Amino acid sequence: MNAIVVLISGNGSNLQAIIDGCAKGTIPGKITGVIANKASAYGLQRATAAGIATRVVSHKDYSDRASYDKALQQAIEGFAPSLVVLAGFMRILTPAFVQHFSGKLLNIHPSLLPKYQGLNTHQRAIDAGDTEHGCSVHFVTEQLDGGPVILQAKVPIFPGDDASTVAERVHEQEHLIYPLVVRWFCQNRLQQRGNEAWLDGNLLSVQG
């Protein structure tokens, strides 16, 4: 059984989708720990309700990014994961951290990457007049929001939408594609090879 560690900063609705996938057996894995950088992250309550161990590693307790990431790495290793899932974990990670977990570190980003890396993606898509938006699951590399994409889902943007209506639409898709990618990983079907993502021996994408 694959051990999965999920990192969160907030609501944890993607965490919940993965908890549900494990409970239903569609994901052949077990979440051994959930780690947040904020004690107030609601996702910690979701984890506790599901009987999953939690830890808070607060960035406020560390003077610099390198020492924080080292502590975070140790906390993660304490749960012995074969997969580390970033689910709304709103921290930039150091190259050392990313390299340590290379090949087993996934992220979900609320845009159709490579468009709208960074923050405020829904508003930026609306402001640009886009009629299409979405979300992407990718392997994490040292390039922020730049690792090879595994799966994307598209949603429409309608006239009159605001960032919250678009976010809701995107979230629905996130809750479908993230558990699916985690399932693929746990089935040993998904691999990162350098800057490339592969599924079932087929090249999915190359980091741009």
Give me the residues that bind ligand GAR (CB under 6 A), please.
Answer: 8, 10-14, 43, 87-88, 108-110, 135, 171, 174
Shortest Cβ contact with ligand GAR: which residue? 88
Q: Is 90 annotated as a binding residue?
A: yes
Q: Is 160 annotated as a binding residue?
A: no
Q: Is 40 annotated as a binding residue?
A: no
Q: What is the largest CA-CA distance in the chain?
A: 48
Query: How many Å apart are CA 31 and CA 160, to the nearest integer?
Result: 39
Describe the strand order of the beta sheet including 54-56 as a list of residue ranges.
54-56, 29-36, 2-8, 83-86, 105-109, 132-139, 149-156
- Look at the block and give the residue holding tokens 């980091």: 207
Backbone angles phi and psi of 3, in degrees to 5 = -90, 130
Amino acid type, 173: Q
Of 10 and 78, nearer to ligand GAR (C-beta) is 10
Which residues lie across from 31 on neighbouring strands? 4
Q: Is 46 annotated as a binding residue?
A: no
The residue from 59, 100, 109, 133 that is catalytic is: 109
Of 104 and 138, nearer to ligand GAR (C-beta) is 138
Cis amide linkage into residue 81, ω under 30° from 0: no
Residue 109 annotated as catalytic:
yes
Q: Which residues have a catalytic role annotated?
A: 109
Task: Give the residue ranges of the annotated binding site.
Answer: 12-14, 65, 90-93, 107
